[in-house]
Each structure stands twice: as C-alpha cells, then as structure tokens.
Amino acid sequence: MRVQSNTLKRARQLRKNMSLPEVMLWKVLRGREPGKPVFRRQHPIGPYVLDFFCASAALCIEVDGGSHGFGDRPQADARRDAFLRSLGIRTVRCVASEVISDAHGVGMGLIQFACETSAPSTASRSPSPMNGGGF
C-alpha cells in the first residue's frame, strides 16, 4: 500500500516525539533477538500512523491515553480499526496508565501474543492459551 507523503512526514515527527508510555513500551518491544517478532514504531499505513506494528503477526498496537474515550475519538478509533481490519491487521489497544505502571509486563504479553499469532513456521506450536483479551 502506498503511503501519502504527509503521513510519512507525520510518522517521522511522531518517532521524535513519542509519549512516555510509548517510549516505555518501545524499550520492551524493540530488539531483534532470535525468535522474537520484529516491531516497528510509528509505522505509516495508508492515512494512519500506527503506534507499533508487527508485520509477521499483522498486528497493530495502540497506546491509548485518556483522550481516546472522549469527543470524536471513539468514532475515529473505530474507523481506523475498520480500515486496518480491511487490510487483515488486528488492533490491540493498551491503556497508557497500565503501560506506565507495568511496561515490561504489558510488552512481554504483546510479544507473546505476536509470537502466537505470527505466520506458522516449520516448528510445531501448542494452542494459544489466550482467548482474545486485551492487555
């Protein structure tokens, strides 16, 4: 999918000005250790910039602060989620205050979820114990 130049510019700017919960979560998600899924931060897709994106799991991770429950934010988030679903990308929303209180726990849960939902490899896997809950 082609990314609009203004979306790419916005993504670059957002990488420089990440919120505290995003920075804390990025410290857990980043890195390319063997067996760990690769995450991108402030990744542009279509007209949107995703907080974090794991291509192998087709997974978008959004860190939602308090403003996401007010005004037109719920409708805007629903439109964004629908757009991403149309591309086969699932969205997991994390509450910013939970990330601040336990960034490591939230991050490790997201990494495990991404591992379990990534494209199958040649290794056998056991069924996922998770039932679609959030983090």
- DSSP letter, residue 88: T
Q: For residues 75 and 88, what is the distance between their CA atoms, to the nearest angstrom? A: 20
| Interstrand relation of 90-95 and 59-64 (parallel, antiparallel or unpaired) | parallel
Q: What's the confidence (pLDDT) of residue 4?
A: 66
Which pLDDT does position 132 carry in this prediction? 43
40: helix, coil or strand?
strand
pLDDT band at 120 (very low <50, low <70, confident <90, very high): low
Mean pLDDT of the chain: 84
Pairwise CA distance, residues 85 & 4, whole Å: 19
Give the Cα separation of 119 and 55 in Å (integer). 10
pLDDT digit string (tens) for 67-97?
555 557 788 899 999 999 999 999 999 999 9
65 or 19: which leads in pLDDT: 19
User: Alpha-carbon distance 94 to 23, whole Å?
Assistant: 14
Residue 133 confidence (pLDDT): 46
Rounded mean pLDDT of 13-35?
91
All domains of the chain, ordered by start, with CATH?
Answer: 5-117 (3.40.960.10)
pTM of this prediction? 0.79
